Amino acid sequence: MLKANRKTMIITSILTILPVLIGIIYWDRLPDVMATHFGFNNEANGFSSKPFAVFGIPLILLAVLWLGAIVTAYDPKRQNISPKMFSLVLWIAPVISLIAAATMYPVNLGYEVDITFFSELLLGLMFIIIGNYLPKARQNYTIGIKIPWTLANEENWNRTHRLAGYLWMICGILMVLICLTQLVPSEWLIGIILFMTLVPCVYSFWLHTKKGL
């Protein structure tokens, strides 16, 4: 699986550490202590040293990329993981790295960026994409809703992921609408995420106890 995706691994690895080059270019203009985490109000609530922000964060994400790829490639049920699902795993880290750089660097260079807007939009789109793939995910130990009842029964896995797929897509669309309209506070996203996480787990448990799946 790793050999078959060697080109994608190289591309995603380069994109993941690309923010390092940007940080080096703007090194002299960046503050020694950089804002690296932000709250719903766009105010910084987490800070890191410049070396860690420029080098550490992309390298950590690079390690996450490779760890995820290796763990997925050596999953005992890796034959159930489709090439599209494996590609999705590979692209998560570079997307996060580039989005983080696109928000972190401008803010630390003195530009105004609506980080909450972009974060909510990205989160919603990500859940829509993942939700589209979940019903197609076959039973494995790496990708999907890996709880005791889904791992113990293939039918339980399939039904749970079918429900989760629709639910995640609906919630993702709802997040995008909240982001674009600003009709409700951003804090509502926490409740939406909890809802879309807990409902499939409860449903899987119900299938196990009531349906014997």
Q: How far apart are CA 168 and CA 161, in angstroms?
A: 10
pTM of structure: 0.85
Query: Based on the domain organization, do 21 and 98 belong to the same domain?
Result: yes
What six digits make up the tokens of 23?
């940080």
In this prediction, residue 213 carries a pLDDT of 81
- Give whole-number Cα distances, 92 to 22, 55, 73, 172, 199, in Å: 20, 19, 16, 16, 24
Query: Based on the domain organization, do 63 and 5 belong to the same domain?
Result: yes
In this prediction, residue 162 carries a pLDDT of 96
Q: Give the model confidence (pLDDT) of 16-67 as tens digits.
A: 999 999 999 999 999 999 999 887 777 888 899 999 999 999 999 999 999 9
How far from the centroid of its chain's Cα atoms is residue 28's Cα? 31
Give the domain-ending residue among 86, 113, 140. 113
Query: Based on the domain organization, do 5 and 79 belong to the same domain?
Result: yes
Lowest-pLDDT choice from 15-24, 109-118, 119-128: 109-118
CA dihedral of 69, 84, 193, 63, whole degrees rounded to 10: 20
Q: Give the model confidence (pLDDT) of 184-193 as tens digits.
A: 777 788 899 9
